Structure 1
């Protein structure tokens, strides 16, 4: 499957390099990332404010998820088992549970005034988008990397989560 910037995903026959079908996406702004869950044969597509779950067997979108990054874009995805790990344009790391159809939640601090939210912050910086993420073979450590979302800004970040 390939992703276009004009709002389609295309399924290909890899044996002959022929297109099989073209599936239109509902959310077409800033489609920049795609991830496959080979166990259940589903794809996740990230856009400016949503994650679309595509089933290539039916050539349709089977689920839509709002991004936690408030319109700053889904910039990276990892879709494994029933969890979708999302790196956002606002520098947030989130985990969507397909079985529960909700984001995992976290406490923001350890004291009595803690607030629950559905993302982890990558750290300080001005719009440090997460452009890449990858789990180790055991699935217990996660690497994220990225940098500024806005053109003209400089810098980069790398984080290992355990």
Structure 2
């Protein structure tokens, strides 16, 4: 056991002397004015933030698709339906509704002006107004558009009123 005690004392003295030398070296150490690593220009990593605005991306792709579709339609030949494939619906859509729908819209507007939608007994008569618009805007008789006759001034109405 005596040998163990002497070994420990020798090691502790060596450690103390090493620590003292290290402390002395640290107190005398000073940094140089420039370090070699500070003189090197390292490349800077640029960080880009990609902010994807999906609304703009979708809008742009829709524009591209529309332009492609328009180009495709412009290059296609327009083929009319043969007479045996035309239906009554096509006739109504192409010949009647193009005149009737604007007349109905104007009649509703006039009915709102006359307050006819709230008061049932009113001077404004919607059916008479539709007849007047359709008579004056008949595409087969363009001269009527210039006259713009009121319903009771139309020749066929005057004849009918004389008969009754």
Q: Relative CO higher for 1 or 2, CA cutoff 8 Å, sep ≥ 6?
A: 1
Could you say whether these structures have the same fold, taking a TM-score greater than 0.5 normalized by the shorter chain as the test?
A: no
For the aligned pair, the TM-score class normalised by the smaller chain equals: under 0.3
Instruction: Choose between structure 1 and 2: higher helix proportion.
Output: 2
Q: How does the TM-score come out when normalised to structure 1?
A: 0.21
* Richer in strand (by share): 1
When Rg is computed on C-alpha atoms for both structures, the one with the higher figure is 2
TM-score by length of 2: 0.21
